[in-house]
Amino acid sequence: MPEQRPFQSYLRGAAFRTAATGHHGLTPGRLRSRELDAPFHGVRTLGIRADNVFDRCLSYEPLLARNHVFCAQTAAALLGLPLPRSLRADTRLHVGALGGQGPRRAGVIGHRLPIDTPCADSVGGFTVTDAASTWCQLAAALSREELTAAGDFILSGIRRPGGGRSDALAQLEELRAAVSRHGAGRGATALRWALEHVRVGVDSPQETRLRLALVAHGFAEPVIGFPVAVDHGTLTLHPDLAWPDLRLAIEYEGDEHRESKRRFRADIRRREKFEAAGWRVIRVTADDLGEELRAFITRVRAIVAGRRAELAR
């Protein structure tokens, strides 16, 4: 059996339509090579694992029409928005057609979008619906609390080492305009609720959940990132949440706080600095926002009551 010619080097890590095989010098028999994958009908890929949203979009790219953009959950993932695990596990792509009928294809959910839907480039270079429009599209799949967490991310950007932040994906006015365009579409009630509860400066979806849970149980809304002077005024720390009048800092601690020795030790020093400055720290874990929520709320009520009594003396 004659030895097969290797694939052109430029095909590795790429996706191409089977209709263009002649351009690439491939025969019908070569298309059946075990080296090639067929993620969609009429498409072949070489060296793309497609185990993440970027690679799945790359695999679909040859099928995109000029008026097609990634939207909804796919756009959200490409933009980095926090999504619940169930949506992250869904490998289907959401593709919208601007002013036309969305595509119908296995592994793809098509959407018909207004022709004037604002669009942007994702980090990977794919054209997606802009962050505000994408947020509204998510209202069909997310709870109002999950929408708030996604909106917080859009408005806040990502905290960088050293305290700075990346640029926000949208401003509050853009979210308001997008909600107005969305009108009475699916999830409109949840969107309007979330729009009233989104905030700037939030570091994580868990922080959003914590803030919303406290407010839902009758506590005053805590301040996000309140500046606290420590070390006799030589250093400023910013707790996740705070009730400044009670000098109560609320810190959410995810698994990385426990698994990283460096982070664990830094957290101890951070708490000591707060306490030396006359503040008390309430530490919160995932369990406190889940199965142990009732006990957590009871604990916080006791701490708040005790703090008020202490400061009144």
pLDDT at 2: 47
Residues 136-155 have pLDDT tens digits of 999 999 999 999 999 999 99
Question: Does 22 have pLDDT greater than 70?
Answer: no
Residues 227-280 have pLDDT tens digits of 999 999 999 999 999 999 999 999 999 766 555 678 788 889 999 999 999 999
How is residue 55 annotated by DSSP?
A: H
Answer for the pair 142, 96: CB distance below 8 angstroms, yes or no: no
Interatomic CA distance for residues 147 and 134, integer angstroms: 11
At 1, is the pLDDT very low, low, confident or very high (cuts 50, 70, 90)? very low
- Which is more confidently placed, 3 or 109? 109
Interatomic CA distance for residues 289 and 168, integer angstroms: 27
User: What number is the average pLDDT over the span 85-107?
Assistant: 95
Determine which of 2-6, 39-43, 140-144, 224-228 has the lowest per-residue pLDDT on average: 2-6
What separation in angstroms does the CA of 126 have from each of 220, 223, 280, 303? 42, 36, 46, 49
Residues 154-189 have pLDDT tens digits of 999 988 876 678 899 999 999 999 999 999 999 999
Question: Does 3 have pLDDT greater than 60?
Answer: no
Residue 183's CB is within 10 A of a number of other CB atoms, namely 8
* Residue whose structure tokens are 């905030």: 199
**CA end-to-end span of the chain:** 93
Segment holding 196, helix H or strand E? helix 188-197
Interatomic CA distance for residues 60 and 39, integer angstroms: 8
pLDDT at 5: 65
Tokens at 257, concatenated: 């706080």
Determine which of 38-47, 195-204, 236-245 has the lowest per-residue pLDDT on average: 38-47
Distance of CA 27 to the CA centre of its chain: 43
Quick one: residue 99, left, alpha or beta (phi over 0 = left, psi -120 to 50 = alpha)? left
How is residue 108 annotated by DSSP?
A: E
Which residues, listed in sequence order, are joined to residue 105 by a DSSP beta bridge?
A: 108
Interatomic CA distance for residues 247 and 227, integer angstroms: 11
pLDDT at 259: 59
Tokens at 259, concatenated: 């698994």
Residue-averaged pLDDT of the chain: 91
| Residues 113, 114, 115, 120, CA torsion sign | negative
Tokens at 64, concatenated: 């995109």
How is residue 218 annotated by DSSP?
A: T
Helices 144-156 and 205-216 cross at an angle (nearest 10°) of 130
Interatomic CA distance for residues 203 and 29, integer angstroms: 52
What separation in angstroms does the CA of 310 have from each of 95, 105, 183, 221, 242? 58, 65, 49, 21, 17
pLDDT at 108: 97
Whole-model pTM: value is 0.90
* Residue whose structure tokens are 């604990």: 299
